[in-house]
Amino acid sequence: MDPLKAASASAYSGLAAQSMRMRITAENISNAESTGSTAGADPYRRKTVSFAQELDSLSGANVVRVSEVGVDPSPFVVEYQPGHPAADDKGNVKMPNVNMIVEMTDMRMAARSYEANLQVIRQGREMSASLVDLLRST
């Protein structure tokens, strides 16, 4: 097993997984105020991302993949807005179960993980280039 190839495969899989996590988090943020279209209808439900580890047969590396995009079962927030089109007969509107603090934290963690995986790829390329330079000079 080539260690550089294994590290690259692992880092590339991390990039793909964190990219998906950022897309789902962005979707949650953009739908944080999306209510149902009719009275009493359910609003947008927050999505979650689950990861799984698997063995890459080509490189022999452990890689990460998105195993599931699910939904958060936590309850909706209910707000009193009697004039809203999605208000029930009591004037209550179900709001999405999206917490902006949680979403911003998830986005920041995904971005940092993405950057770390990108740095692994950069350093691998630099090491390969240095090795080629060393071999040329001898």
Can you name the residues that pair with 51 across neighbouring β-strands?
Answer: 66
What backbone phi and psi angles, to 5 degrees, belong to 81? -145, 80
Tell me what pLDDT residue 1 has. 61
pTM score > 0.75 for this model?
yes
How do residues 21-60 score in pLDDT, each as one tens digit? 999 999 999 999 999 988 888 999 999 999 999 998 877 8
The stretch 65-76 carries a mean pLDDT of 96
69 has a pLDDT exceeding 90: yes
* β-pair type (77-80, 92-95): antiparallel
The stretch 93-110 carries a mean pLDDT of 96
Tell me what pLDDT residue 51 has. 96
Residue closest to 9 by CA, chosen among 67, 50, 55, 51: 55
**How many Cα neighbours within 13 Å face the side chain of 119?**
6
Tell me what pLDDT residue 81 has. 92
Dihedral of the alpha carbons of 118, 122, 124, 130, in degrees to the nearest 10: -170
4 has a pLDDT exceeding 80: no
Q: How far apart are CA 46 and CA 83, in angstroms?
A: 25
How do residues 121-132 score in pLDDT, each as one tens digit? 999 888 888 888
CB atoms within 10 A of CB 88: 16
